[in-house]
Amino acid sequence: MLPAYVPNSVAAALGGGHPIDGGRSFSDGRRLFGDGKTYRGFFAGVAGGILVGVLQIWLQGAFSLSMLPAQTLLSIILLATGALLGDLAKSFFKRRLGKASGERWPVADQYDLVAGALLMLAVFDLPWLIDAVTLPVLFWILVLTPILHKTANMIGYLAGVKDVPW
**166 inside domain:** no
Residue 6: CB atoms within 10 A of its CB come to: 24
Instruction: Using pLDDT thresholds of 50, 70 and 90, give the confidence band for residue 162.
Output: confident
pLDDT tens for residues 26-79? 999 999 999 999 999 999 999 999 999 999 999 988 888 877 778 999 999 999
pLDDT number for residue 153: 82
Question: Does the pLDDT at position 128 exceed 90?
Answer: yes
Q: Is 165 a member of any domain?
A: no
Judge whether 62 lies within some domain: yes
How many structural domains comprise the chain? Answer: 1
Judge whether 151 lies within some domain: yes
- Expressed as residue numbers, the domain containing 86 is 2-158
User: What pLDDT, on the 0 to 100 scale, is given for residue 40?
Assistant: 98
Residue 130 lies in a domain: yes
pLDDT the model gives residue 137:
94
In a domain, 163, yes or no: no
- Within a domain: 69: yes
Q: Does 164 reside within a domain?
A: no
